[in-house]
A and B are shown apart, each in its own frame.
Chain A
Amino acid sequence: MGAFIDARTVPSGTVVHADLAIVGGGPAGISLALALANTKLKVVLLESGGMAFDAKTQSLYDGSKVGAPYVTLEASRLRYLGGSSNHWGGWCRPLDAVDFEERAWMPYSGWPITKADLDRHFVKAHELCEAGTLYYDGAAKITGSIGQPLALGTGGLMTRWFQFSKMRSSVLPTHFGERYASDLKKVSRLAVYLWANVTRLGLNPSGTYVRQLDVATLDGKKFKVRAKACVLAAGGIEVARLLLASNDVIKTGAGNSHDMVGRFFADHPVPRDNAVLVLFGGEPAPFYLGNQTTHGAILRAGLFPSEHFRREHEVMASSITVEGKVELDALGKAAVATTANALGVDASSASFHSLGCGMEITPDPDRRLTLTNERDALGMPKLKLHMRLADQDFAKYRLTLKELGRQLLESRIGMLKLNLRTRDEWYASLDWGNHHMGTTRMSVDPKKGVVDANLKVHGVANLYVAGSSVFPTYGAANPTVNLLALVLRLADHLKEELP
């Protein structure tokens, strides 16, 4: 029988021994522990929080930010078992094969693995998210009774699909901590320590091996964990902090000989109300406007640039969603009436909806996390986020929207108004996906990344990272199901590597 242990009851000075230590009990850490359940490995999972929100623990996430507008570091994640899945939206979608490629037009692009390396893990990753059968691009075949996709004709954008984690009353959607606590307890060689904060990775003198993890509780207990291997699964921001703050052996931080840790921070900007979609014939099918349940799956359609369009126009990935109804001003009414008439179509029952979007951004080494002199309650240095956004990323997304406008006109089903143009207008509309990516990016070259293709930290023999911080580029897909596929691949690797 596995154990849930309150770290505050562990006497200071204790040394816990294990084959594998997992730092963090969010979707990544929990899924890794479950994937290793049927092995002989003795696994310890160290989770900073308990089973529910605790303000003092949450404030360990405090940090600062400068530059472009962004969410505060403590608000965009949650620090207790289940991590940020305790307030995630449940949107799922695998990345596309093109997202993994090196593309001349996207600096720093190219993963050291392909989509095919992950494909076999998506069924299980989906199962962990309780998101039903994988339909995605085949969803049009099962949604015919609900409605028809927009007849956009040929062109750059097409209808594609999100799927959702199962919604239920007490856990909306899958809260990994609450949902999997009982499964974790069934894993015989697993010990889950709650209220256990890892504060330092103790490296050997040459910095090539993690000898121990320092663990502290907010009530003053301190103990150590010695494991053959460690996996950092503390989320896309905190993993970088742990590496940077473990700087007693290598002055720049563990695994940071090439000053790559914390760089390339990314998220998906979500510019709200960025356009108005006019459909001359009336309302779009309901699956564009909200989730629809059919065939055991929860689905929502969006509009995505095709791979061909992305390559031809060198644009980033994006996922456009149809949002609430809007009213047109006098110019809008004139534009719709004049255009519909000129195209010879009736617009008397036209519908008008606002568009939202999740945007990919260009990788940027200077959009980064650094340590500050400020310390948290456990004495760990706090982080500062240097946020930057390239005007070109908005310009490229605008080009994608304009292509949607072109397709609507060519197919004579509607038209589009672009609402945002200047940087100030984009910034004023910005919301965020809270998808923290990039800060320990994957690369075969230690000078260009923090982890290798097996998610092992370059230069540190027994240290791995699990989570979206390893994404070198970001696509427009929600990260969790993708990071879980990576976690399952890592589990296979660890089964082979660890005796």
Chain B
Amino acid sequence: MKTVSRRQTLWLGGSAAVLVAGGVGGRLLLRKRYAPTPYDDLIALAHDRDAAAQIGETVLAEVDDFEPIAMAVRLRARIAGRPLATALTDDVAKGHLVEGGGWVLPEMLGLICALAAKAAG
């Protein structure tokens, strides 16, 4: 049986450590990079961009004539600088809702998710 020298062990150990570090760093490095969009400020309101894009796909299936740039302008005006939670509950109080895959969502949140889906291409 081939024996493993102390030097090899150290090397292997070191490389394992490198690999582990590479795992974490790799995730950062390999993280999906999105091309910048003119509505990144809105997408940033969603806590997980990939999750938002997943919901957004289902919202896009429900809404007609979704033009991202114009939508972003309208959404900024509707949010009007308020905290997102406040803007959403006010919106929902007025009955502004959208469905995505059956989920009843605050309309503005659904539309932000739709922007994330558009950005994800």
A-B contact count (CB 8 A): 87
Q: Tell me, in angstroms, the Cα distance from A421 to B62 when the chains sit together.
A: 13
> Do A343 and B85 touch (CB < 8 A)?
yes
Residues of A within 8 A of B48 (CB): 334, 337-338, 341
Query: B71 contacts the other chain (Cβ, under 8 Å)?
Result: no
Given contacts A409-B92, A412-B89, A418-B99, contact A338 B104 (CB under 8 A): no
Between B83, B99, B105, the greatest number of chain A beta carbons within 10 A of the residue's beta carbon is seen for B105
Is A417 positioned at the interface, with any CB of B under 8 Å from its CB?
yes
In chain B between 64 and 121, which residues have their CB closer than 8 angstroms to a CB of chain A?
Answer: 83-85, 88-89, 92-93, 95, 97, 99-106, 109, 113
Q: Is the CB of A335 within 8 A of B106?
A: no
Q: Say yes or no: B85 contacts A342, CB within 8 Å.
A: yes
Q: Is the CB of A405 within 8 A of B88?
A: no
A300 to B38, CA, bound (A): 52
Instruction: Tell yes or no: B45 within 8 A of A by CB.
Output: yes
Count of residues in B whose CB is under 8 Å from the partner chain: 28
Residue of A nearest to B89 (CB): A410
A333 to B101, CA, bound (A): 12
> Which listed segment binds A: B1-9, B14-22, B50-58?
B50-58
Q: Are B93 and A410 in contact, with the CB atoms below 8 A? A: yes
A331, CB-defined interface residue at 8 Å? yes
> Are B95 and A406 in contact, CB atoms less than 8 angstroms apart?
yes
A66 to B35, CA, bound (A): 58
Shortest distance between the CB of A314 and any CB in chain B (Å): 16
Q: Across the interface, which residues of A come within 8 angstroms of B102, CB to CB?
A: 417-419, 421
A343 and B102 alpha carbons, distance in the complex (Å): 19
State A469–B46 Cα separation when bound (angstroms).
54
Partner of A418, one of B85, B104, B106, B113: B104
**At the interface, yes or no: B47 with Cβ under 8 Å from chain A?**
yes
Is there contact, CB below 8 Å, between A341 and B54? no
Known: A342-B88, A342-B109. A405 touches B55 (CB 8 A): no
For the complex, what is the distance from the CA of A412 to the CA of B91, rounded to whole Å?
13
- Whether the pair B89, A415 counts as a contact (CB closer than 8 A) is no
Nearest residue (CB) in B for A419 is B102
Partner of A331, one of B45, B47, B101, B104: B101
Q: By CB atoms of chain B within 10 A, which of A332, A334, A416 has the most?
A: A334
Closest residue of chain A to B104 (Cβ to Cβ) is A405
Kindly provide the distance from the CB of A258 to the nearest chain B CB, expressed in whole angstroms.
44
Which chain A residue has the least Cβ–Cβ distance from B58?
Answer: A331
Minimum distance in angstroms from B46 CB to a CB of chain A? 6
Q: Is the CB of B100 within 8 A of A335?
A: yes
The smallest beta-carbon distance between B107 and chain A, in angstroms, is 10
- CB pair A406 B92 closer than 8 Å: yes
- One of A332, A341, A412, A417 near B47 (C-beta < 8 A): A341
Bound-state Cα–Cα, A330 to B101, Å = 11
- Are A417 and B84 neighbours in the complex by a CB distance under 8 Å? no
Q: Are A338 and B51 in contact (CB under 8 A)?
A: yes
Q: Which residue of A is nearest B103, CB measured?
A: A335
Indicate if the CB atoms of A335 and B95 lie closer than 8 Å.
Answer: no
Q: Known interface pairs A341-B47, A342-B84, A342-B109. Does A335 touch B101 (Cβ–Cβ under 8 Å)?
A: yes
- Contact string against B for A residues 319-343, beta-carbon threshold 8 Å, 1 for contact and 0 otherwise: 0000000000011111101110111
The answer to whether A334 touches B92, judged by C-beta atoms less than 8 angstroms apart, is: no
Contact B93 A402 (CB under 8 A): no
When the two chains form their complex, are residues B104 and A344 in contact, meaning their CB atoms are under 8 A apart?
A: no
Quick one: which of B46, B92, B95, B104 contacts A417, CB cutoff 8 A? Answer: B104
With a CB–CB cut-off of 8 A, which chain A residues contact B84?
A: 342, 344
Q: Hey, which chain A residues are within 8 Å of B93, CB to CB?
A: 410
On chain A, the residues within 8 Å of B47 by CB distance are: 337-338, 341-342
Give Cα A415 to B104, complex, Å.
7
| B window 28-64: CB within 8 A of A | 45-48, 51-52, 54-55, 58
User: Are A344 and B83 neighbours in the complex by a CB distance under 8 Å?
Assistant: yes
Known contacts A337-B48, A338-B46; A343 and B88 CB within 8 A of each other: yes
Q: Which residue of A lies closest to B95 (CB)?
A: A406
Task: State which residues 380-416 of A face B: CB under 8 Å.
Answer: 402, 405-406, 409-410, 412, 415-416
A330 partner residues in chain B, CB cutoff 8 A: 54
| Whole-angstrom CA separation of A228 from B83 in the bound complex | 76
Most buried by B among A332, A335, A338, A415: A338
Which of B83, B95, B103 has most A Cβ within 10 Å?
B103
Bound: A409/B48 CA distance, A: 19
Q: Which residue of A lies closest to B108 (CB)?
A: A342
Give the CA-CA distance A455 to B34 in the complex, in Å: 72
Report the separation of the CA atoms of residues A421 and B84 in the bound assembly, to the nearest whole angstrom.
30
Q: Which residues of A contact B85 (CB under 8 A)?
A: 342-344, 412
Of all chain A residues, the one with the shortest Cβ separation from B87 is: A342
Q: Do the beta carbons of B104 and A416 come within 8 Å of each other?
A: yes
Query: Looking across the interface, which residue of chain A has its beta carbon closest to that of B84?
Result: A342
Known: A415-B103, A417-B103. A338 touches B45 (CB 8 A): no
8 A-B pairs with CB atoms under 8 Å apart are A337-B48, A338-B51, A342-B106, A342-B109, A343-B88, A343-B106, A406-B104, A419-B102
**14 additional contacts (CB under 8 A) given A334-B48, A335-B55, A342-B84:** A337-B48, A338-B47, A342-B109, A343-B106, A406-B95, A409-B89, A409-B104, A409-B105, A410-B92, A417-B101, A417-B103, A417-B104, A418-B99, A418-B104
Which A-B residue pairs are the 4 nearest by beta carbons? A405-B104, A334-B51, A344-B85, A341-B47
